[in-house]
Structure 1
Amino acid sequence: MADEGDILTDLDATPATGNGADNLPSAGIITQYVKDLSVENPNAPAVYQWKEQPQIDLQFNIGANKISDEVTEVELKVNVTAKTSQGNAYLIELVYCGLIGLRNVPEDQAHAFLFAEAPRLLFPFARSVVATAVQEAGFQPLLIDPIDFNGLYIQQLQAKREQEAAATPVGQA
């Protein structure tokens, strides 16, 4: 009968890849966190007497900062402005980040993971932070609709290709 040490040793064995090297592609979130959060309620307490529903302006931006060869910080920036004819009801600025580990992933696939898949994975948590921040400012929670980050990524790639094609000179002068 094997003791616990024997079982752990068997589980820790490296996969049979011929030379023992870890050359399989892998990608995943190492950790995630709020990097920056700003909540402004500039017209309190008067804003709570306003009858008009605010118009919501929602902006997103995605950035990636390489930390090391295998780790990249992906930033999901969310800016929310709730405005009425009487002024701003509230402003929320959030930078929600994830440390993303990538190993043995081809560059084109790494780019797609960092700018489409990682934001998709981070979004529900950023959405929750925004909803809570709005509620803590004294308003009904703002529930942001899901976003198709993969679709947006493909649209941006197509737009970039079209722009590059339009900039390429045709014929000879």
Structure 2
Amino acid sequence: MPETTETNAAAETKEAPTPQLSMQRVFLKDISFESPRSPMVFQEEWKPEVGMELNTKSRQVGENVYEVVLEITVTVKNKGESAYLVQVQQGGLFVISGLDDQQLHHALGAFCPATLFPYARENIDAVVVKGSFSPLMLAPINFDALYVESLQKQQAETQQ
């Protein structure tokens, strides 16, 4: 009898889907650079004020295939006036299976954007340098903390 119990437990283990998450492709969906005060901005003392806005979008594009887009807008001002603006939409295709709804939501809202961030950061830096400005290396971002903060904000709005 004990063998039957072990066999049933082994069968149950085999039936549970194995979680899978893999990146299939990284792509630049959109990029924009504006420097409205060039060339005058290069003649001023440089004390930049950097602002950043971050958003993510995701959608299912096939069976277990999801597109995730990390949108970053960086605004740099010098002495209160716009020096330059960079907007990047860094996309990725991810194959995700074997996750429950909560795990899937977390993967799409935190893990995938964190995976895309270094690519977006590199593209932002490259376009800023091509605009003849100093490199702009954005600091790492804790996407898990942002995800939890977003969930807490949604729950607070739902309760009100």
Q: Do residues 85 (structure 1) and 79 (structure 2) align?
A: yes
Q: Do residues 137 (structure 1) and 128 (structure 2) align?
A: no
1-structure distance, mates of 2:126, 2:46: 22
Question: 1:106-139 CA deviation, whole Å, 9 max, x = no partner?
Answer: 1110110000011111111111111111111101
Q: Do residues 147 (structure 1) and 141 (structure 2) align?
A: yes
Which has the greater radius of gyration?
A: 1
Task: Select the structure that is richer in strand.
Answer: 2
Report the AA paired with residue 33 of structure 2: V
* Post-superposition offset of 1:84: 2.2
Task: Supply the RMSD in Å over aligned alpha carbons.
Answer: 2.1
2-structure distance, mates of 1:133, 1:82: 13
2:107 to 113, 116, 125: 113
Report the AA paired with residue 163 of structure 1: E
Indicate the residue corresponding to 2:33 in structure 1: 39
Mark the CA change 1:164 to 1:142 in structure 2 (over 3 Å): closer, same or farther.
Answer: same
Verify the 8 A CA contact 2:47 2:79 in the aligned structure 1: no
TM-score of the pair, normalised by structure 2 = 0.85
1:96 to 78, 86, 90: 90
Aligned residue for 2:62, secondary structure, equals coil
Indicate the residue corresponding to 1:54 in structure 2: 48
Q: Do residues 65 (structure 1) and 59 (structure 2) align?
A: yes
1:23 to 14, 17, 29: 17
1-structure distance, mates of 2:83, 2:143: 28
Identity of aligned residues (%): 30
Poorly superposed stretches of 4+, deviation over 6 Å: none
2:150 to 146, 149, 156: 156
Indicate the residue corresponding to 1:170 in structure 2: none
Mark the CA change 1:114 to 1:84 in structure 2 (over 3 Å): closer, same or farther.
Answer: same
Structure 1 gaps, min length 5: 1-16, 168-173
Verify the 8 A CA contact 2:47 2:78 in the aligned structure 1: yes
* Post-superposition offset of 1:45: 1.4
Structure 2 gaps, min length 5: 1-10
Mark the CA change 1:50 to 1:26 in structure 2 (over 3 Å): closer, same or farther.
Answer: same
1-structure distance, mates of 2:68, 2:83: 30
* Post-superposition offset of 1:42: 1.6
Residues paired across the two proteins, number: 150
Indicate the residue corresponding to 2:3 in structure 1: none
Question: 1:55-95 CA deviation, whole Å, 9 max, x = no partner?
Answer: 11111111112212311111100101111236321110100
